[in-house]
Structure 1
């Protein structure tokens, strides 16, 4: 099931209409117009960008890992993958990818999962679920914690064992690698730039990512 479909983009950063660096552990939420292209850049390498997408006009129709995996018959994402909503509607299409594989199964860290995976002492630590909810709260009730769903972990390497289990391994990304997606409808992107300090995949050192948007 490995996918390493690395395809570079011809888009240049200086022509982007939007360019922002998201600090380690910070969040970002932004609406994309149909046809706009979003690039997420792994600035230092092996940083996990936990990401969700919503139909901006119908937020209850959010990204569905099940629909996406079933349609493409692969658990990993790369160039050509269509990210689908729960209705089956295409939300975005990956049009370029220099990493080559992204996780759909590992989910976002939370206070509860940190205590199970690591130790009870990690309970108060910053986590992606809290970052998601903090960003959604800025939309005055349009999004709530009920809208959270299994997310994409861009740049994260989570192989599936022969027994069906998950392992969190060293990343397959590197400094400057990116994934680029074209929005197929009016879409809301929600990112938690993972603050995880307990997973060795990022050398216990969360780092910034960069987001750019182009008019296609």
Structure 2
């Protein structure tokens, strides 16, 4: 049986003061307006920027390591490209992407250009520096093992279990997944629906690593995609690893909200 150890009045007061300071800072911080979506199609990177490029067929997964400052560009290959993502800190794989905290801290489920994604340690794993659609899913995750697709089609859950093993991880290490190019929205009754008008076939996102990362991707149909059961695995995507680039002092992802500023302070203290 655990023994309760009472905390001193001084410790309680110090915690309260710290909380009130954070609250005051957040209330006084004027969040910056986020930019318009990135133009389509994605611009061709300079040859010296490209570290490597991979084509991931529909239904398949991909794993990679991304060094701090490097960028990852994910380009859809046409309608039906939904790309699920899981991320861990390379230095300590017990630190992983935390979507509930990411949504709560930034007061939005719309993760798009100018937003960041937090770990379960309150640090920033990566920033979304480019994004052509803003149509990404943080609520429902990828397709389960019994997805309503063509018999034999691969699914996100099984892909991610395999991808985690490739990184020396187990299925219990998988976080809630962020799925790009998945226009899931909530209707007036609180139900989920798919809004294809938010997407184009040449959408893309670019992520900047804010620490060394391990990344798993699954290019599999989203369970809410109404075309999934009849159109197979979906098109291939292109994944491009890009070299680090200088970061401006007023970089939007790092300064857009008080929570982002605090997350990068946590990064600096590690």
| TM-score normalised by L of structure 1 | 0.85
Find the structure with the greater CA-based Rg: 2
Q: Which residue of 1 aligns with 2:72?
A: 38
2:184/2:194 contact within 8 Å kept: yes
Which of the numbers 152, 155, 160 marks the counterpart of 2:186? 160
Give, in whole Å, the separation in 2 of the partners of 1:11 and 1:182: 17
Q: 1:194: which partner in 2? A: 220
CA contact (8 A) 1:4 1:100 kept: no
* Alignment-derived partner of residue 212 in structure 1: 240
Q: Is the 8 A contact 2:57 2:237 kept in 1?
A: yes
Tell me the number of residue pairs that the alignment of Structure 1 and Structure 2 aligns: 206
Instruction: Supply the RMSD in Å over aligned alpha carbons.
Output: 2.5
Equivalent residue, structure 2, for 1:7: 38
* Structure with the largest fraction of helix: 2
1 or 2, which has the higher strand percentage? 1
User: Could you tell me which of 144, 160, 167 is aligned with 2:170?
Assistant: 144
Retained in 1: the 8 A contact 2:35–2:114? no
Q: Which moved more, 1:58-67 or 1:171-180?
A: 171-180
Give the one of 130, 138, 150 matched to 2:158. 130
Q: Give distance in 2, aligned partners of 1:44 and 1:30.
A: 23
Distance 1:86 1:53, change over 3 A: same
Shift of 1:174: 1.7
Going from structure 1 to structure 2, the CA distance change for 1:103 and 1:201 (only over 3 Å counts) comes to: farther
The residue correspondences of 1:43-192 to structure 2 (distance < 5 A) are 43-112=77-146, 114=147, 118=148, 125-139=153-167, 142-170=168-196, 172-192=198-218
Deviations 1:123-149 (A, max 9, x none): x6421110011122223xx31000112
Counterpart of 2:94 in 1: which secondary structure?
strand
Deviation at 1:169, TM superposition (A): 3.5
Is contact 1:46–1:171 with CA below 8 Å preserved after alignment?
Answer: no
Q: Is the 8 A contact 2:135 2:184 kept in 1?
A: no
Deviation at 1:198, TM superposition (A): 8.2
CA distance in 2, matches of 1:188, 1:33: 9
Residue segments in structure 2 that go unaligned for 5+ positions in a row: 1-33, 245-270
| Greater length-normalized contact order (CA 8 Å, ≥ 6 residues apart) | 1
Q: CA deviation at 1:77?
A: 1.1
Aligned-pair CA distance for 1:162: 2.2
Q: How far off is 1:163 after superposition?
A: 2.8
- For the residue of structure 1 that corresponds to 2:162, the secondary structure is helix
**Structure 1: runs of 5 or more not aligned:** none
Distance in 1, matches of 2:178 and 2:128, equals 13
Report SS of the residue matched to 2:38. coil
